[in-house]
Amino acid sequence: MTARITHWINGAEWAGSEERSGDVYDPATGQVSAKVDFASRTTLDAAVAAAKAAFPAWRDTSLTKRTQIMFAFREILNARKGEVAALITAEHGKVLSDALGEVTRGQEVVEFACGLGQLMKGGFSEQVSTGIDVYSIRQPLGVVGIISPFNFPAMVPMWFFPVAIAAGNTVIIKPSEKDPSASMLMAQMWKQAGLPDGVFNVVHGDKEAVDGLLEHPDVKSISFVGSTPIAKYIYETGTRHGKRVQALAGAKNHMLVLPDADLDLAADQAVNAGFGSAGERCMAISVVLAMDTVADALVAKIAERMPALRTGDGRRGCDMGPLVTGVHRDKVAAYVEAGVKAGATLVVDGRNPVVDGEPGGFWLGPTLFDNVRTDMTIYTDEIFGPVLSVVRIHSFEEGVDLINRHEYGNGTAIFTNDGGAARRFQNEVQVGMIGINVPIPVPVAYYSFGGWKASLFGDTHAHGVEGFHFFTRGKVVTSRWLDPSHGGINLGFPTQS
């Protein structure tokens, strides 16, 4: 019998039944491994009611107690991260070592949020006027919603929920229906860590559950990560319903290689960042901008590294796993076809790869295009697969201009040994996260993650101080403890004296 994955509401697996469900695949075999319940509005309402009921006690739980629970969760996660990674590989397909890396990066945010005592501090000014003090405090929002994508089923939720919970909010997460199990395991870990029931809830589903979150008056904020068209919809709908929204979106990350760069290092990193996780990373490099003087050598170096990559089942020690679904694999393969038709040079063709895995898996091998033009769909669109495009350029300025003219602005990298060029690059590119000889510049947890342009809707990035800001509201208190000298009538506007 196919396993069933259901919601986690008020500290337990949900006991009801749903009319609708979705298939969860093992992408390395192509088999359906489970059915996941799709929440109706009624179920969503029950989850919001549980989170709302848990909020008053959780927001009043002392910072000391909250910190202890955060530490306990961190310890459990650290001890059981292999289990989370195994679930990710089984449903997403990325190789086990990559899945472990994902959990570790999520754990960093948990560790950051353990410092909530420091992060929740306000300010205090004594004697701003005679006998008057002013201080600021930050308070949680209430019930907050998190909607996450398939490509990081543990890390992306952990960009948000550790901070939201540490700040005193209660959470409803709607994971991707493609790989819902990691969230369920983390829900059990929270319970084990002593988090009160109702503070962390998981509701599975599709648009119906998402719309329920967007429209529900008791949900105060939405943190979304996913593709750009959906992110735009989430931002517009959520804000129209009076919510605070941060919607992180799609990407097309360029890597600019200057002639003075170490070309072997650049080729290694282009391969790692282009094909890691089968290119299903929002920070994957999908375009290499090669200066014409070194382009031939760079393309040759990238191409000569690719045959060594082993594509196959992520549980077998391969370098690259399958794509997440058959539909997605076919979509990526169609881009390869379109690139060939448009006249790009197909240097390495990943269609029909030799794989270490079952024939039914959603396979597509690493693919390299050269002589890509900026009007081709393989350049304009986010492909989200193991397809790397080389665009040949003639100057530094042309490279920066291309990056700035692209719709997306999530991440970018420059490879050079020229500090002045790198400094100019970081100053001039219209992108949120910059790598200097670092191909995947995902910020550490105490900085904030987020792109520019069509890669982010809203103004607040994830985690770091901005994360705490997003999940709290400010109050300023002006206080005076009266004594007889404060008497008397004065209708004028208060000024300092």
109 binds ligand NAD (CB under 6 A): no
Question: What is the distance, to the nearest Å, from the Cα of residue 341 to the centroid of all Cα atoms in its chain?
Answer: 33
410 binds ligand NAD (CB under 6 A): yes
Least Cβ distance, residue 281 to ligand NAD (angstroms): 7
Instruction: Select from 68, 104, 188, 227 the one that contacts ligand NAD (CB under 6 A).
Output: 227
User: Which residues, numbered 159-198, are part of the site for ligand NAD (CB under 6 A)?
Assistant: 174, 176-177
Name the 3-class secondary structure at 5. Answer: strand
What x/- string results for residues 245 through 284 when contact with ligand NAD is judged by CB under 6 A?
Answer: ---xxxx------------------------------x--
Which residues is 20 bridged to in the sheet? 38
Taking CB atoms, the residue at the shortest distance from ligand NAD is: 226
- Asked if 170 and 199 touch (Cβ cutoff 8 Å), the reply is yes
Q: Alpha-carbon distance 116 to 426, whole Å?
A: 31
Going by C-alpha positions, the residue among 17, 3, 11, 190 that lies closest to residue 91 is: 3
Residues near 411 by Cβ (< 8 Å), separated by ≥ 6? 251, 253, 282, 283, 431, 432, 433, 434, 435, 440, 441, 442, 451
Whether 282 is a known active-site residue: answer: yes
Count the residues of the shown chain that bind ligand NAD, applying the rule CB under 6 A.
27
Q: Copy the structure tokens of residue 111.
A: 């560790």
Q: Which of 282, 290, 291, 324 is catalytic?
A: 282
Least Cβ distance, residue 384 to ligand NAD (angstroms): 5
Least Cβ distance, residue 224 to ligand NAD (angstroms): 7
Q: Alpha-carbon distance 116 to 468, whole Å?
A: 9
The CA-atom distances, in angstroms, between 441 and each of 432, 434, 450, 451 are: 10, 6, 11, 11
CB nearer to ligand NAD: give 98 or 370.
98
User: Which residues, numbered 434-463, are part of the site for ligand NAD (CB under 6 A)?
Assistant: 451, 455
230 binds ligand NAD (CB under 6 A): yes
Instruction: Select from 45, 206, 215, 356 the one that contacts ligand NAD (CB under 6 A).
Output: 206
CA angle centred on 275, ends 254 and 105, rounded to 5°? 85
The helix or strand, by DSSP H or E, that contains position 137, with its residue range, turns out to be strand 132-140
Instruction: Select from 193, 225, 372, 454 the one that contacts ligand NAD (CB under 6 A).
Output: 225
Contact residues toward ligand NAD (CB under 6 A) are 147-152, 156, 174, 176-177, 206-207, 210, 225-227, 230, 248-251, 282, 382, 384, 410, 451, 455
| Catalytic residue numbers, as ranges | 282
